[in-house]
Chain A
Amino acid sequence: MFLLVIKRIFLGLITLFIVSLITFVGVEILPGDACTTYLEREAYGAALEACYERLGLNIPSYERYISWALGVFQGDFGYSLSGEMKINDVLGPRVKNSMVLASASIFIGIPIALLLGIITALWRDKLPDIIISTITIFSMTIPEFISATLLILIVAIWLEWLPGIVIVPTGASISELLPNIILPVIAISMIMTAHMARMVRSSVIQVMASDYVQMAILKGVPYWKMVFKHVLPNALLPAINVVALTIAWLLGGVVVTEVVFNYPGLGRLVIESISNRDLPVVQALAIILASIYVTINLIADLMTLILNPRLKSLQIKK
């Protein structure tokens, strides 16, 4: 058990290492480098030299990778090109803002998804299932920027219930953010919730068809007791990993949604830094987003490990 945990963590670290390599190499092999892309037309002569000097681009790439990676490992991403600010200072508040948005979506989305998934599975092919399933298919397929735009149009512009565009400074506190994030959270969680609900549904249906559920019925276990004791623990266990993947997928949606709502989070930073060709910031973002992904999956893996009696007994036997 302990070994397994270590192994998972180790694999996660390997993934991150590969990500850092990919982003680094990716930036290297694409035409142009940080200086030429940033300076664009002025990229010649002394200006270019100075830029190279400043960024240390004239030392061999593997050395640069090592010193960069070491820095990242210690939580130092270096300097951004545009503001000549420390990337850490740029990222700090943005990360916080995006976290608020994402965790709000997750905490609202997961319970709703579970509920909907279970309801649709237990009332399979009956009216509640048909209605909810149709809705989930729709909300699953509509891209975030469309639902976000529609939400703004309907709720903010036509009904004037909530602010449509977030107008807060980057360093705003959570209470300042609150009324503003309602619509973004809805937009983000829609797709995710729909996906998870569908997965929970099929997982529950699968378990309901199993021999042991039939056995529980034949044993005379009352329906709801059977659902909670025999069905859900076994159905939700495999769903954990899938939910984690969905959450990781949500990161992409966050970027788009933040742009629509003008929300000062990581997503907008992604767009800004790419428009500004600020490659060091892009690299930093890639690492951060990848570590979020890896962490979420790691948590899911560990949860499965802890909850699954099959894996638990490994320690008894060995």
Chain B
Amino acid sequence: MENIVQKINNLTIGFTSQKGEQISILKNISTSINKGETVGIVGESGSGKSTLALAMMGYVKHGLYTISGECLYHSNNLLDMNNRDLENIRGRKIAMIPQNAGQALTPNLKIGYQIDEALKLHTDFKKEDRDKKISELLNKVRLPSPEIMAQRYPHELSGGQQQRVAVAMALAGNPEILLLDEPTTGLDVTTQAHVLELLNVIAKDTGTSMVYVSHDLGAIARVSDRVIVMYSGEIVLDGPVRGILKNPIHPYTFGLLKSIPKLTSPGLPNSMSGSQPQPGIIKSGCSFFDRCNFAEDQCKSNTPDLEYLSDIKTSVRCFKYRDLINMKETKNDKIRSLNNNILENEILNISEVSITYAKQKFLEQLLNKTEDSNPTVKDINININKGETLALVGESGSGKSTILKSIAGLLKTKDGIIKFDKDIVLSNDLKKRDPANLRAIQLIFQNPDESLNPNHTVEEIVSQPLKLYFGLSGSELKQKIIEVLDKVRLGEFYLTRYPRQLSGGEKQRVAVARAFAAKPDIILCDEVTSALDVSVQAAVLNLLQELKEDFGTTYIFVSHDLAVVRAISDRVAVLYQGRLCEIGPSKHVYELPSHPYTEVLLGAVLEPDPDIKPKLVAEDIVEEKPPEQGCSFQGRCPRILGDICKKEVPPWQMGENGNSIRCHIKVDDLKKQQTIN
């Protein structure tokens, strides 16, 4: 057992509720980490994965405490060690790379100082050596010009750069174990892929053990050798990555994998019902019982143990894993294809729209700054037919949400016309729009915590559009509310609930109900699934699709997640820095030849499959502003032609299958080049 660097035995961590009950966040966790191994810990929010990661550093958050068990680092229990000893282990033996580096770097201290601090604490280097080492570390995490970087404050860096600094800081002490807590969540797709690649290289170079905590099976698949799946504070599955992702023998993992939309298999994924229970609710039996498709009677009363199967080196917590072992093929069964009834008539026409986001400051007005000649969003031409689902994709700063807001009238356009139903011109001033047109376009937002008034009951929330547009009241109103809620599969007893009493998925259903209550023609969906857990996301996507098929609604669907977009949309428009790059039927946009940016995006998508590697073709630079002239993608384009891209706005070219690409490279040439690699 020389190989084991960290071992966790029967660890239970919890808190005491206001009623005085002891509630466990982690239940009886036992596992171990081997030398040089990368272990992925995957689970949804509230599964206890972060608490576990922190416990592995001997850290328990304010309010939580260890109920039983131990967490051994080379036979020392970190959880009852004194602070002095812990300080010698933290950062030196076990280092952490935090979830949100932007908030985890101390704002008043320079990058160089923060790395130096770690070096001073954990190495015996002299001052000059440390300076050299800082540059070396910053180089290692591939940050440009390390000397300048070291003089910067955290807020002067982009998200990806901050994350790299955090990695450099963690490497400073040459640790034996690296703990990574959702290190790429919140980063853009391409940045995420780059950071993961970096971590892979580091793991190989240094031989450190890594523990990678994430909700994202795609990221886990990229980096780990072994995966631990957590559900409701328990380990439900623990084994080699390939086995777990290819043949998951626990019903939760099985369902989870099926509910993730994949680029390789278009159409809507299967959804899982319900959501993870709150800690403390399940008293006996299997914690997955309520949502399990394989459950039988004994699961309700008896709690399954974690059983080790030596033939596949996997531990599983389920009575019925044998049924799953024999179910070899898990892919592609029962994926719903879209069944949209797209009519010929155009419902929305966006032509030549440009939007300036930056408001002019008073001071700038005084200094006579001329009008913005380089608007945030420019030259947008899109038409949408009735019944269609059009998706806008792009990374942060691509202007996709901005366009959505101006369709809704929330942001004034600078130029261009938005026409509804062929000939109604929508004013760019919300107040001047006709109520009937306002009703026709409804919005669903990313985060239901923000989009639902916390002081209103579900009844009040859903009644708003009904009262406003249809003047309903009394029993008629109530009847209608119940009807609408029923459509989103929420029962009558939800009427008196407040948003805080609902789960994330339920809240988003209420938001969907509110939008549909207005009987809209078009619904604008702004990242509607990105705040949701994976297992809930599929359910919401399916619901949206069903409602659409029932009502013939048109969707404009904004997302950064290419797989989700692939699953739900008929047509896709790809945006970079507020300019369209490519637009066309989903199927063909996702196929080559593509616009170079689409190619970069597609290459960076992480699939929950260890055999599919992302292709990193472009640097993950963050651009603050679109270039003044020429192609919007010139700053990062791997296929850039030279001057022509920098000076001239590229022309639209028709691809073979109805997708238009905006690039100076001929479509045929693109095809040739792209198929070669």
Contact = CB atoms under 8 A, between A and B. Distances in A.
Whether A and B touch directly in their complex, counting CB atoms under 8 A apart, is answered as: yes
Given A310-B153, A313-B156, A222 B105 contact: no
A230 B114 CA distance: 10
Interface in A215-254: 215-223, 229-230, 233-234, 237
Interface in A113-154: none
A210 B95 contact: no
5 smallest beta-carbon distances between A and B, as pairs: A220-B91, A220-B90, A211-B103, A215-B104, A219-B91
Contacts of A313: 153, 155-156
Interface residues of A, number: 29
A212 B121 contact: no
A169 interface: no
Given A220-B92, A220-B122, A212 B105 contact: yes
A307 to B, nearest CB: 8
A222 B120 CA distance: 12
Given A215-B98, A229-B106, A313-B155, 14 more contacts: A209-B62, A212-B105, A215-B106, A217-B59, A218-B96, A220-B121, A220-B122, A221-B121, A234-B108, A309-B107, A310-B153, A312-B153, A316-B156, A317-B156
A211 B104 contact: yes
A219 B121 contact: yes
Nearest to A215: B104
A234 B107 contact: yes
Contacts of B408: none
Given A3-B363, A218-B91, A313-B153, A212 B83 contact: no
A82 interface: no
Contacts of B90: 217-220
Interface string B70-110: 00000000000001001111111001101110011111110
A313 B153 CA distance: 8
A242 B86 CA distance: 37
A211 B121 contact: no
Contacts of A229: 106, 109, 117
A221 to B, nearest CB: 7
6 contacts: A212-B104, A216-B106, A218-B57, A218-B91, A219-B117, A234-B108
B89 A220 contact: yes
Interface of A: 3, 7, 209-223, 229-230, 233-234, 237, 308-310, 312-313, 316-317
A43 to B, nearest CB: 48
Contacts of A217: 59, 90
Nearest to A313: B156
B173 interface: yes
Nearest to B179: A218
Contacts of B107: 212, 234, 309-310
Contacts of B105: 212, 215
Q: Which one of A7, A218, A221 has the greatest number of beta carbons of chain B within 10 Å?
A: A218
A304 to B, nearest CB: 12
B91 A212 contact: no
Contacts of B98: 211, 214-215, 218
Contacts of B122: 220
B118 interface: yes
Contacts of B149: none
B169 interface: yes
Contacts of A211: 98-100, 103-104
A46 to B, nearest CB: 54
A212 B103 contact: yes
B161 to A, nearest CB: 14
Interface of A is mostly: helix
A223 B83 CA distance: 8
A41 B89 CA distance: 86
Contacts of B89: 220
A309 to B, nearest CB: 4
A207 to B, nearest CB: 10
A231 to B, nearest CB: 9
Contacts of B106: 212-213, 215-216, 229-230, 234
A218 B59 contact: yes
B124 to A, nearest CB: 15
Contacts of A223: 83
Contacts of B99: 211
A317 B157 CA distance: 12
Q: Which one of A213, A215, A222, A313 has the greatest number of beta carbons of chain B within 10 Å?
A: A215
B87 A220 contact: yes
B87 A222 contact: yes
A88 B117 CA distance: 57
A114 B425 CA distance: 61
B83 A210 contact: no
Interface string B131-174: 00000000000000000000001011000000000100100010
Contacts of B59: 214, 217-218
B109 A219 contact: no
B363 A219 contact: no
Nearest to B84: A222
Contacts of B153: 309-310, 312-313
A219 B169 contact: yes
Contacts of B95: 218-219
Contact of A233 (B87, B103, B108, B173): B108
Contact of B155 (A222, A234, A310): A310
A133 B103 CA distance: 30
Contacts of B91: 218-221
Contact of B109 (A222, A230, A237): A230
Contact of B88 (A218, A220, A233): A220
A234 to B, nearest CB: 5
A218 to B, nearest CB: 4
B168 to A, nearest CB: 12
A220 B173 contact: yes
Contacts of B118: 219-220
A237 B109 CA distance: 13
A230 to B, nearest CB: 5
Contacts of B169: 219
Interface string B172-210: 010000000000000000000000000000000000000
Q: Which one of B59, B83, B108 has the greatest number of beta carbons of chain A within 10 Å?
A: B108
Given A215-B98, A215-B104, A309-B107, A221 B155 contact: no
Contacts of A210: 103
B175 to A, nearest CB: 10
Contacts of B88: 220
Contacts of A222: 87, 121
Contacts of B104: 211-212, 214-215
A196 to B, nearest CB: 21
A312 B96 CA distance: 30
Interface string B232-247: 0000000000000000
Contacts of A218: 54, 57, 59, 90-91, 95-96, 98
